Structure 1
Amino acid sequence: MESQNKHIAKNDLEVAIDLSVFLKSLKKHRLLIIVIALLFGITGAVIGLLTPNEFVSEVKLLPELESKDGVGGLGKFKSLAGLAGIDLGSMSSSEAIRPDLYPNIIQSTPFMLEALKKKIFIKKSRNYQSIYEYLRHQRENTLYYKILGDSDDGYENNQTLLQQSITSGALSLNKKETIIIKELQKRIGAAIDKKSGVISISAKMTDPIAAANLATFAQEYLTRYITNYRTEKTRKEITFLENRVSDAKKRYDGSLFNLSNYQDKNRGLFLNVAKDQEKKLQYDVDLSFNLYSELSRQLEEAKVKIQKEAPVFKVLEPAQIPLKKSEPKRSVMVIGFILLGAFLSTIYVFFKSINFSSILK
């Protein structure tokens, strides 16, 4: 037992001696550590200077939220009202798309395809350029894009194929287009505050004006998408009623013409057969008019209904052209590289100064 304790004490003494050697070695090689840290700092500064500035623009929307129980909270009285012969179903409505699904709409591929076709003003070049061309030009300067080596007919030349794909319900994208879409998905996003219901849409681009334009486009796309979704059924109903009203009007005009023509040709006749024929024509006119009148009323109600169903989005904070960059944080990068260089050089000095063979004996 005593021998073991002496052995442990001896090892501790050797470690203490080695640590003192390590501290002396740090002092001896402090110039090396400083030089390596500075070299790493210079590398971080170069990387920071080569990294383009990123600007973020944000839009805040307040969507229209409706009661889950319907208007006035009458949902719980539906069953009782039904027993009394009162229908409260038409008085209540619910949100067609939950607000927490709005970020998924912004990240969807159809939105990305629409956004890539959007023409935006580029501050640096002072001209308009599609987002696809803008992002592709940026990626062409990266090593990954050059190594990809994928044959591409170009976005503009592939528009017919893309349009046919969207029409048929299937998308056909090549590798480079897929990469650009993924790049755009990283640069734009949406989030919703569950407490206040405020929707925040942010866009990040290397050009401040482009970032503001992209955020505004995302806002317009989202409001248009939700509005079309909410009113799609009513719009189809309006189209159907407009066709039926047109047919009913033609039928009414034809019935009225037949009655007037018959009356003009059979003036002064007192035969019962003639009177019966006139009654039939008059009945056809009344029936056609009633049908035309009822369809016209339903058409007007549908037009009013589509206005009621259209959601309201209040813009709390419109997109602004950012004046300051959001990234890269060049000072943070330089400090991080300096600390990394100091850490790696310290590890090198540590392994060089400590004699592990004596400790392991």
Structure 2
Amino acid sequence: MSTDAISPLLYPDLMASTDFVVSLFPVKITTEDGELSTDYYTYIYQHQKQSIWSVPFNWIRGQLKAFSELFADEEKTSGEGGKIDAFRLSEEQKKVVDFIKGNVQCSIDKKTNVISIVVQDQDPLVCASMADTVSARLQEFITRYRTNKARIDMEYYENLSRKAKLDYEDALARYGAYSDANLNIVRKETELKQTVLENEMQLKYNTYSALNTQLQAAKAKVQERTPAFTTLQCATVPLKPDGPKRMLFVLGMMLLTIFILSLYAIRDYLLKD
């Protein structure tokens, strides 16, 4: 914990932001069976398996959408190809963003500041790959945020030092050329001109030396501000699915069957009376 504007407690909100989720769209993934290799956006949007009870609802939704598209000329945007504008998402992109937000979860222990990242996907290899990617993206963002001011200073001193070096080399060249051209000439005017050029060269060198010292200090500051991360538990390909719970599903279907059969039996009993 520090005086940073973005403290570790805000990392879950950061990962839930639209900009962070959209940055995951072009990530390349491969399924465990090796039959599909595409970007994460296409995988989520086009290659998700549907549950049995969602098929009729998705069919009706698809028919309504196809009907509405007859009267609306909407520009389609895919996750692969052109750059996606996180400020203005299409309807399909917004659905994918919401879906990924539900799949990628981040939590932090307030006592230890340990960050836990949980990713759920239908394919185990995709799941583990995205967990690694999300972890790397979060570390990259934190590093970029914490070193931003130091990197700006470093780039500033790099530009000044580069320009000072060119000025010094130019002054050195002019001093050397003038000295060689007037090597055997003993005149007061020549000596004065040579002294002026020598002093100018020395000033340029002093400026370059001072800026180079500040540049090295800025580079050390970047290194000082760069956080070190330790992975307590790496992402692994899961061997068993986390859901849906088969036993709960079977139990639920049994209870539903018993309820329907009971209603049917009661109905027959009342009709006979």
The normalised TM-score by structure 1 is 0.64
> How far apart, in 2, do the equivalents of 1:287 and 1:347 lie?
101
Of structures 1 and 2, the one scoring higher in RCO (CA 8 A, sep 6+) is 1
Unaligned runs of 5+ in 2: none
The answer for the alignment partner of 1:131 in structure 2 is 40
Change in CA separation of 1:177 and 1:348 when aligned onto 2, cut-off 3 Å: farther
The answer for the alignment partner of 1:206 in structure 2 is 122
> How far apart, in 2, do the equivalents of 1:305 and 1:96 lie?
19
Unaligned runs of 5+ in 1: 1-64, 69-93, 354-361
- 1:201 is paired with a residue of what secondary structure? strand
Counterpart residue identity of residue 15, structure 2? I
The 5-angstrom pairing of residues 201-350 of structure 1 reads: 201-340=117-256, 342=258, 345=262, 349=266
Tell me the CA shift for residue 197 of structure 1. 1.3
- Greater shift in the superposed pair: 242-251 or 134-143: 134-143
> How far apart, in 2, do the equivalents of 1:133 and 1:157 lie?
7
Structure index of larger Rg: 1
Residue by residue, what CA displacement relative to the aligned partner does 1:107-166 show, whole Å, maximum 9, x if unpaired? 121222221211111124533121111111245855435244465624156614x2xx46
Q: Is the 8 A contact 1:122 1:129 kept in 2?
A: no
Change in CA separation of 1:189 and 1:152 when aligned onto 2, cut-off 3 Å: farther
Identical residues among aligned pairs (%): 28
- 1:177 is paired with a residue of what secondary structure? helix
- 2:147 is paired with a residue of what secondary structure? helix
> How far apart, in 1, do the equivalents of 2:88 and 2:80 lie?
13
Residue by residue, what CA displacement relative to the aligned partner does 1:253-281 show, whole Å, maximum 9, x if unpaired? 11111112222222344433322222211
> How far apart, in 1, do the equivalents of 2:164 and 2:209 lie?
9
The answer on 1:155 being equivalent to 2:78 is: yes
The answer for the alignment partner of 2:6 in structure 1 is 97
Tell me the CA shift for residue 97 of structure 1. 2.3
Out of 119, 122, 139, the residue aligned to residue 28 of structure 2 is 119
Q: Is the 8 A contact 1:188 1:203 kept in 2?
A: yes
- 1:197 is paired with a residue of what secondary structure? coil
- Alignment RMSD, CA only? 2.6
> How far apart, in 2, do the equivalents of 1:104 and 1:96 lie?
13
